[in-house]
A and B are shown apart, each in its own frame.
Chain A
């Protein structure tokens, strides 16, 4: 049971870090798009 627990938590940790990474990229992109938006005629 302990190893099951350990493997689930490490899997979850990896998922979480990947999600943080994704979050950052999506936010960067929407920020860039927002900056460009007013320039459009």
Chain B
């Protein structure tokens, strides 16, 4: 099942790369039309949406943990935050490259860039919190769930700033050909599937790890 998912993701992503960089390529900025920098859009937008999905999963799983207290949910939360952070890092890195090519600076404090940096820092703080709490795993899980819920309160601000506030960072993009739409949809699907596969793999690994540790303790 998971291998099938992997293969589907692979094919989608492979197709997306080829379509996006050949027939669906986006022209560069007016100053430098040959530059391929605007094609980074195909990786930038899906990874931003994926990181938000991962953090939403984290929120749901954390609330679930506080309600039920099942240790599996805590492990899934850790997997979700790691994968979400991976995509947030990709988001910031691609955004930075794009900004260098488009506006000539690596980073500039516009609302969207600031809020996505905040998002990244929030979940890095989650990992720091997780690694520095001694004592029982139960208490650690509970405290991390509390922090995840508080941290998610800041996410609506990020979404609002990315959609509704005037910014030099555009919120929407007009496709000029069907190939571009196809490439974008394919890379979107591939990235979501990739995130799901990553969370699945990581959660599976963490669950096995915790089982092994239980055996050692017993």
Does A30 contact B3, Cβ atoms closer than 8 Å?
Answer: no
Instruction: Fill in one digit per residue for B1-31: 1 if any A CB lies within 8 Å of its CB, else 0.
Output: 0110010001001100110011001000000
Does B21 contact A8, Cβ atoms closer than 8 Å?
Answer: yes
Interface size on B, residues (CB 8 A): 22
Query: In the bound complex, what is the Cα–Cα distance between A2 and B39 (angstroms)?
Result: 13
B residues in contact (CB < 8 Å) with A: 2-3, 6, 10, 13-14, 17-18, 21-22, 25, 36, 197, 201, 204-205, 207-208, 211-212, 215, 218
Query: In the bound complex, what is the Cα–Cα distance between A32 and B207 (angstroms)?
Result: 13
Does B208 contact A12, Cβ atoms closer than 8 Å?
Answer: no
Does A40 contact B215, Cβ atoms closer than 8 Å?
Answer: yes
Does A5 contact B201, Cβ atoms closer than 8 Å?
Answer: no
Does A26 contact B215, Cβ atoms closer than 8 Å?
Answer: no
Categorize the interface residue count of chain A. 20 to 34
B207 to chain A, nearest CB (A): 7
**26 contacting pairs across A/B (C-beta < 8 A):** A2-B22, A4-B21, A5-B21, A5-B22, A8-B17, A9-B14, A9-B18, A12-B10, A12-B14, A12-B17, A13-B14, A16-B6, A19-B6, A19-B197, A20-B3, A20-B6, A23-B2, A26-B201, A26-B204, A27-B204, A29-B205, A30-B207, A30-B208, A36-B215, A40-B215, A40-B218
In the complex, number of A-B residue pairs with CB atoms less than 8 Å apart: 51
Taking CB atoms, residues of chain A closer than 8 Å to B218 are 40
Query: In the bound complex, what is the Cα–Cα distance between A23 and B208 (angstroms)?
Result: 13
Q: Is the interface of B mostly helix, strand, loop or mixed?
A: helix
Instruction: Fill in one digit per residue for A18-38: 1 if any B CB lies within 8 Å of its CB, else 0.
Output: 011011001101100100110
Given A1-B25, A5-B17, 18 more contacts at CB 8 Å?
A1-B21, A2-B22, A4-B21, A5-B18, A5-B21, A12-B10, A12-B13, A12-B17, A16-B10, A22-B201, A23-B2, A23-B201, A26-B201, A27-B2, A29-B205, A30-B204, A33-B212, A40-B215
Does A33 contact B18, Cβ atoms closer than 8 Å?
Answer: no
Query: In the bound complex, what is the Cα–Cα distance between A5 and B22 (angstroms)?
Result: 8
